[in-house]
Amino acid sequence: MKNALGVEIPEYIEGIGELQPYQGVWKSIIEDEVPATNISRTLKAKKAHTSKVCSSLEEAIKKCKPFDGMTVTCHHHLRGGDGVLMQAIDILDKMGIKDITLASSSLTSAHDGLVPYVEKGMITKIFTSGIRGALGDIVSTGKLKYPAIIHSHGGRVRDFLTGRIKPDLSVLAASAADEEGNATGSHGPSAFGSMGYADIDARYSKNVIIVTDNMVEYPCVPSTIRQHFVDHVVKIDSIGDASKIASGTTRITSSPMDLRIARIAATVIEHSGLFKDGMSFQVGAGGASLAVAKFLREDMKRKSIQGSFMIGGVTSYGVDMLEEGLFKAIFDVQSFDAAVSSSVLNNPKHVEISCDQYANPNNCGAMTNKLDVVVLGALEVDVDFNVNVITGSSGEIRGASGGHSDTASGANLSVIVCPSFRGRLPIIMDRVHTVVTPGESVDVIVTERGVCVNPAKPNLAAALKKAGLKVVDIRDLKKEVDSMTGIPAAKELGDKIVALVEYRDGTIIDVIKNVTNLG
Amino acid sequence: MTPKFKAQAGTFESSDIMVLIEPVAEGSGRQVDISSTVMLQFEEDLKACINQVLDVMEIENVHLIAKDKGALTPTIKARVETAVKRSLGIQEGTL
């Protein structure tokens, strides 16, 4: 069967089940009833005044009675510094557990160690919002038994509630916790800020283990994860490499190209009709997208604009804007640098939110649906405004869906910032290699050579032209760029589906085929 | 013409190409070794572009090593031409 973007989607995949084709940004979210099969965790009881504390992670995992074919979940708040997920998998492997479904909210460079476990079939399924590095390469070449499922941040919550992901064991790292499992990321030597992704695992998993390197005296306050969701608590020496978990403050890029693109994007926002008191705003943490915040900050001060709220992955730059009064609040699902943790801890206007509240398409209060402006990056875009943030130039999986499609669908103005080519590779394609965010939810693509406006927004195009911006037809811009770079040779791909890209509503928006030559 | 000196042009920066020329004995022909961050996408184009410059400059005996970081065609041509001129001892205008 073909989905709304013309992608051939198998009706059924062994190990995954029946698949539904993507029909459009809002179609199935609005029209389909979604049965929630996984709304509560198993009822459990614990005798008064007994202890949850285990002497080792191994002991805690044993108490959860692990079994072949189980689903193990983790959060990725420790980013590239995570030392907990690998420990849990090592222990399960030593216990002889196999055929594991790994459902981490994302996977980073800290998880290259999973490669041998995938190769020997100990891990056979992966749900994640992102895969990179050596793990991305072996999934791309087809070494994982069943296709990986790439979901959005909001889609992961939905997958928990609908039972597509059925978490049996959740091993959740915290930078501070007490003996009952009240846990947080906002303080402690390995502080990493918000625990927004982990909140879902704690609520819906059958077994929850809190792992910390900083056991504090009861009660651990403030806490994000609450004790009545926690089965076991473990103190270990280290939850990871603190310097890679969160360090310092995020600097704005000094790349002239990124700064130019960001300056244009901020001007687009200024003339979009949304640049006024009460504006809400989200920006990515990457080069050009974060730099948009720098220019927006200057523009807001110049025109005395006070925004309503910022959401998302939060950097210290966002915290600075909150403290200057440019926004009234930050809603934080994930914190990107060390300086953010203290703001989460100390500033009541810096509100930690769960990923459910952030982006779940099937609840009645996702923050992404209140968003005015979002600025996002792209690996590739196409003439239909579709965006790829997951596969690289050889077709290999090397990125993350993250909140890209969630925020693009909800925002009144979704702005994609990207250079027109990178190291000779043109960014504007006839069709992106993999669609993560459909063009229907993308309004403007900003490059250093011009601004492309989705033809569905003619009034916006007119307003931007009037403001003196260089508004160009995306097909003309593609021709201009291709004439400079030349047309790249087609990617070398096989016929095997190695990953499914799940749209936030649970339908399949694209499939990723195996790469035969990684270059 | 036949290169007389070892010579180089370019940098290892992104969007640039480093071209190294090594003189070889008369009659040993052209050896062009290319590595590139965009080899999968532009291998044929890179080969053709480098050989075209060598053809125009009538360089038949040479060992050319190119390390490309995604340079555009005009950059590649300029770097090859410069490296060749330096290897021929025609330094003027290339330093």
Q: Is the pLDDT of residue B48 over 80?
A: yes
Chain B nearest CA to A149, separation (Å): 27
What are the structure tokens assigned to A485, written together? 């770079």
Q: How far apart are CA A101 and CA A489, in angstroms?
A: 36
Longest dimension (CA), chain B: 36
What are the structure tokens assigned to A449, written together? 């050579």
Place of tokens 């459990």: A44
Count of CB atoms situated within 10 Å of the CB of A13: 17
Residue of chain B nearest A518, judged by CA positions? B40
Domain ranges of chain B: 7-88
- Reduced to 3 states (helix: H, G, I; strand: E, B; else coil), residue A82 is strand
8 Å CB contact between A91 and A61? yes
Count of CB atoms situated within 10 Å of the CB of B5: 12
Predicted confidence at residue B2, as pLDDT, reads 87
Helices marked H in A188-285: 198-204, 242-245, 256-270
Contacts of A167 (CB under 8 A, 6+ apart): A71, A72, A73, A103, A160, A201, A204, A205, A206
Phi-psi category of A304—alpha, beta or left, where left has phi over 0 and alpha has psi -120 to 50? left
Residues A49-74: pLDDT tens digits?
999 999 999 999 999 999 999 999 99
C-alpha dihedral over A125, A128, A131, A134, to 10 degrees?
-30
Q: How far apart are CA A478 and CA A480, in angstroms?
A: 5
Chain A nearest CA to B33, separation (Å): 16
Q: Mean pLDDT across the stretch A295-323? A: 95
Q: Mean pLDDT across the stretch A158-162? A: 93
Chain B nearest CA to A255, separation (Å): 12
Q: Mean pLDDT across the stretch B39-56? A: 96
Predicted confidence at residue A238, as pLDDT, reads 95
Taking the Cβ of residue A517 and every Cβ of chain B, the question of whether any pair is shorter than 8 Å is answered with yes
A interface test, pick of B41, B47, B68, B73 with most A CB neighbours within 10 Å: B41
Q: Mean pLDDT across the stretch A86-103? A: 98
- Fold for the domain defined by B7-88: Ribosomal Protein S5; domain 2 (3.30.230)
Mean pLDDT, all residues of chain A? 95
Q: Do B71 and A424 touch (CB under 8 A)?
A: yes
Residues A419-435: pLDDT tens digits?
999 999 999 999 999 99
Q: Mean pLDDT across the stretch A8-23? A: 96
Strands A169-174 vs A148-150: parallel, antiparallel or unpaired: unpaired
CA atoms within 13 A on the CB side of A234: 25
Mean pLDDT, all residues of chain B? 94
- Reduced to 3 states (helix: H, G, I; strand: E, B; else coil), residue A229 is helix
Q: Mean pLDDT across the stretch A39-47? A: 76
| CB-CB neighbors (< 8 A) of B11 in chain A | none
Strands B7-9 vs B17-22: parallel, antiparallel or unpaired: antiparallel
Count of CB atoms situated within 10 Å of the CB of A163: 13
Contacts of A188 (CB under 8 A, 6+ apart): A174, A175, A176, A212, A213, A214, A216
Q: Is the pLDDT of residue B95 over 70?
A: no
Contacts of A348 (CB under 8 A, 6+ apart): none
Q: What residue ranges in A130-276 does DSSP mark as E strands?
A: 130-131, 148-150, 169-174, 176-177, 183-184, 208-212, 232-235
Q: Do A486 and B37 touch (CB under 8 A)?
A: no
Residue B12 vs residues A516, B73, B77: alpha-carbon distances, Å: 28, 16, 16
Nearest neighbour of A489 by CB, restricted to B37, B40, B73: B40
8 Å CB contact between A366 and A358? yes
Predicted confidence at residue A339, as pLDDT, reads 86
Residue A274 vs residues A295, A325, A371, A412, A465: alpha-carbon distances, Å: 16, 18, 11, 8, 16
For A:356-415, CB contacts with B below 8 A are 393-394
Predicted confidence at residue A40, as pLDDT, reads 63
Predicted confidence at residue A38, as pLDDT, reads 66
Taking the Cβ of residue A48 and every Cβ of chain B, the question of whether any pair is shorter than 8 Å is answered with no
Nearest neighbour of B70 by CB, restricted to A423, A517, A519: A423
Taking the Cβ of residue B76 and every Cβ of chain A, the question of whether any pair is shorter than 8 Å is answered with no
Longest dimension (CA), chain A: 74
Q: Is the pLDDT of residue B92 over 90?
A: no
- Share of residues in chain A with pLDDT > 90 (%): 89
Residue of chain A nearest B46, judged by CA positions? A486
Taking the Cβ of residue A491 and every Cβ of chain B, the question of whether any pair is shorter than 8 Å is answered with yes
Q: Is the pLDDT of residue A31 over 80?
A: no
Contacts of B30 (CB under 8 A, 6+ apart): B51, B54, B59, B60, B61, B62, B64
8 Å CB contact between A296 and A263? no
Chain A nearest CA to B71, separation (Å): 6
Residues A344-394: pLDDT tens digits?
999 999 999 999 999 999 999 999 999 999 999 999 999 999 999 999 999
8 Å CB contact between A250 and A290? yes
- Share of residues in chain A with pLDDT > 70 (%): 99
Q: How far apart are CA B18 and CA B36, in angstroms?
A: 10
What would you report as the CA-atom Rg of chain B, rounded to the nearest whole angstrom? Answer: 12
Q: Mean pLDDT across the stretch A77-83? A: 94
Q: Mean pLDDT across the stretch A263-274? A: 97
Q: Mean pLDDT across the stretch A179-202? A: 96
Q: 3-state secondary structure string, A364-403?
A: CCCHHHHCCEEEECCCEEECCCCEECCECCCCCECEECCC
Among residues A200, A201, A204, the alpha carbon closest in space to that of A73 is found at: A201
| CB-CB neighbors (< 8 A) of B71 in chain A | 424
Position A42 confidence tier, pLDDT thresholds 50, 70, 90: confident
Predicted confidence at residue A231, as pLDDT, reads 96
Element (H, E) at A468: none
Taking the Cβ of residue A422 and every Cβ of chain B, the question of whether any pair is shorter than 8 Å is answered with yes
| CB-CB neighbors (< 8 A) of B69 in chain A | 423
Q: How far apart are CA A248 and CA A336, in angstroms?
A: 10
Taking the Cβ of residue B23 and every Cβ of chain A, the question of whether any pair is shorter than 8 Å is answered with no
Taking the Cβ of residue A519 and every Cβ of chain B, the question of whether any pair is shorter than 8 Å is answered with yes
Per DSSP, what are the bridge partners of residue A53? A233
Place of tokens 């283990």: A209
